[in-house]
Amino acid sequence: MADASQLSAHLDAQRQAFDAERYPTLAVRRDRLRRLGDMTREHRQDIIKAIRQDFGYRPEAETRLLDIARVLQAVRHARRHLKRWMRPSRAAVPWRLWPARARVHRQPLGTVGIIAPSHSPWSLALLPAVDALAAGNRVMIKPSERSPTTSALMARLAEHYFSPQELKVITGDAGTGRAFAALPFDHLLFTGDDRAGREVALAAAANLTPVTLELGGKTPVYIGVDADLERAAERIAFGKWLSAGQTRLAPDYVLVHEPHLSAFVAALTQVVKRFHPDGAAGDDYSAIVGESHRERLDAMLEEARDHGCRVIPLGETVELSRGAKLPPTLVIDPHGELAIMREEIFGPWLPIIGIGDLDHALAFVHERPRPLALYAFTNDPERRRRILEDTHSGGVVFNDTLWHNAAPNLPFGGMGGYQGEAGFLRFSHQRSVFLQARRSSVRLLNPPYRHWLYRLMGF
């Protein structure tokens, strides 16, 4: 655990190293990415065991899908496209300035700080690190104190694969996290909830540090009147109960036309039984990470019951030696003042709300904060157009959930934050470069001013 002075010393060491190599070559950047991939690939089983211990239980397949495969794919994609990303891009010059030329030079920022959450503790720490290293930066990571085993493993492996001047992992409690956020990074990325995001933004503001906040929010699902309810139920069940709902992209509530509500609940119930025949006790179902998180979820569901909501548990709670497995649970037509409709659920509860028409659905979504993703099940081109034009979200998926995050060419984030080229640009300075020609037309504009010439040139 590092104190504030030690954190500052680590940052100073990275700044000095960056000053000695302000524009790393393509070969250097590719080598750093290769080592990040090796660190993940060669220690897959260690990562799986560490995350399982932090959760109490998590299926190996989910860790491979959510943490390991995502990092390896991002590394492959960045190494393949990095040469093109680094290339300066040409910029058009107005005819009045001819024959001058212009371009945009993509320059590393310097030192990048990353604060990661506990629910995908490996990938959400290293995915932004892939982008930051590709852009030529030095990186410091503060993983979550709620996943201590994974955080300790990451710190230990980082010391083996990287010098601390390239990539440094800082472990510690919430106090260490606050001190980390207060460091004068050249850019700081935070992934987590709104409350902690506000604290990070305030701490960074003291240093005028640019901040990217990757927050969650209540991700809506709209089921159109033309949707195939069985297929919609299958895709929603996969997206919702992957990692027991503990992903930032999990569906948070479903809007379905009132006449179809009962049929959709029945379809969803059948899909859950097919996916998890042994309920929460099955090997393919994850535990809830952290006792405080479990208590918050229990209180949220109890409040919904107390207010008369119809609650349909699709299984029984399973207590573990460390943590618990909470079953998939449907909450029918909760009103908007309940915590389950105000807060990001981040767990296995799924509100299902009957609506009148598409206008009602769009108004419902519009009244709430802009979500990280929006899912819509409809094949009607006009409905799709209205959803795209009348709503705001980080991403949109039609007829599925989650999978836009697996496409490395699509920006990921609340409003397109990072991943792939978008991530490379997020951690780069877009430097304007203007190359004046030896014989320049702008010399005609020198004093003494000729007003007729200014008018001729459109000034």
Q: Which CATH number belongs to the domain containing residue 194 in this structure?
A: 3.40.605.10
Which two three-digit tokens encode residue 450? 């000729």
pLDDT (0 to 100) of residue 383: 97
Same domain, 173 and 291: no
pLDDT in tens, 359-389: 999 999 999 988 999 999 999 999 999 999 9
Residue 454 falls within a domain, yes or no? no
pLDDT in tens, 226-273: 999 999 999 999 999 999 999 999 999 999 999 999 999 999 999 999
Mean pLDDT, residues 286-313 taken together: 95
Please state, in angstroms and rounded to a whole number, the distance separating the CA atoms of residues 415 and 422.
11
Mean pLDDT, residues 417-440 taken together: 90
Mean pLDDT, residues 213-217 taken together: 82
Instruction: Give the Cα-Cα-Cα angle 350, 327, 266 (nearest 5 degrees).
Output: 55
Same domain, 157 and 232: no
Residue 439: pLDDT band by 50, 70, 90 thresholds?
Answer: confident
Same domain, 271 and 208: no
Same domain, 289 and 381: yes
pLDDT (0 to 100) of residue 118: 92
Same domain, 130 and 243: no
Same domain, 199 and 282: no
Same domain, 163 and 247: no
Mean pLDDT, residues 405-434 taken together: 84
pLDDT (0 to 100) of residue 417: 66
pLDDT (0 to 100) of residue 369: 87
The average confidence (pLDDT) of the chain is 94
pLDDT (0 to 100) of residue 216: 72
Chain-centroid distance of CA 221 in Å reads 18
pLDDT (0 to 100) of residue 414: 60
pLDDT (0 to 100) of residue 215: 82
Same domain, 48 and 144: yes
pLDDT (0 to 100) of residue 45: 98
The number of domains in the chain is: 2
Residue 319 falls within a domain, yes or no? yes
Residue 21 falls within a domain, yes or no? yes
pLDDT (0 to 100) of residue 413: 66
Residue 340 is part of which domain span? Answer: 220-406
Residue 447 falls within a domain, yes or no? no
pLDDT in tens, 24-74: 999 999 999 999 999 999 999 999 999 999 999 999 999 999 999 999 999
pTM for the complete prediction? Answer: 0.93
pLDDT (0 to 100) of residue 144: 95
Residue 445 falls within a domain, yes or no? no
pLDDT (0 to 100) of residue 70: 95
Please state, in angstroms and rounded to a whole number, the distance separating the CA atoms of residues 344 and 342.
7
Same domain, 158 and 262: no
Residue 362 falls within a domain, yes or no? yes
Residue 438 falls within a domain, yes or no? no
Buried b / exposed e along 106-127 (16+ C-beta atoms within 10 A) = bebbbbbbbbbbbbbbbbbbbb
pLDDT (0 to 100) of residue 338: 96
Residue 97 falls within a domain, yes or no? yes
Same domain, 257 and 174: no
Whether residue 134 contacts residue 424, with contact meaning beta carbons closer than 8 Å, is answered with: yes
Is the pLDDT at 217 greater than 80, yes or no? no
- What pairs with residue 325 in β-bridges? 318
Q: Write down the H helix ranges in 172-245.
A: 174-181, 194-205, 229-241
Please state, in angstroms and rounded to a whole number, the distance separating the CA atoms of residues 16 and 195.
34
pLDDT (0 to 100) of residue 353: 98
- Residues of the chain with pLDDT > 90: what percent? 83
pLDDT (0 to 100) of residue 432: 95
Q: At 289, which CATH number? A: 3.40.309.10
Sign of dihedral through CA atoms 299, 266, 240, 257? negative
Long-range contacts of 227-232 (CB under 8 A, 24+ apart): 227/377, 227/378, 227/379, 228/377, 229/260, 229/263, 229/264, 229/267, 230/267, 230/271, 231/377, 231/399, 232/264, 232/267, 232/377, 232/399
Whether residue 144 contacts residue 153, with contact meaning beta carbons closer than 8 Å, is answered with: no
pLDDT in tens, 203-212: 999 999 999 9
Q: Write down the H helix ranges in 373-458.
A: 381-390, 420-426, 451-456
Mean pLDDT, residues 84-107 taken together: 93
- The CA distances from residue 360 to 80, 166, 400, in Å, are 45, 51, 22
Mean pLDDT, residues 175-190 taken together: 96
- What pairs with residue 352 in β-bridges? 254, 332
Same domain, 206 and 224: no
Same domain, 252 and 130: no
Phi, psi torsion values for 274, nearest 5 degrees: -75, -45
Whether residue 183 contacts residue 9, with contact meaning beta carbons closer than 8 Å, is answered with: no
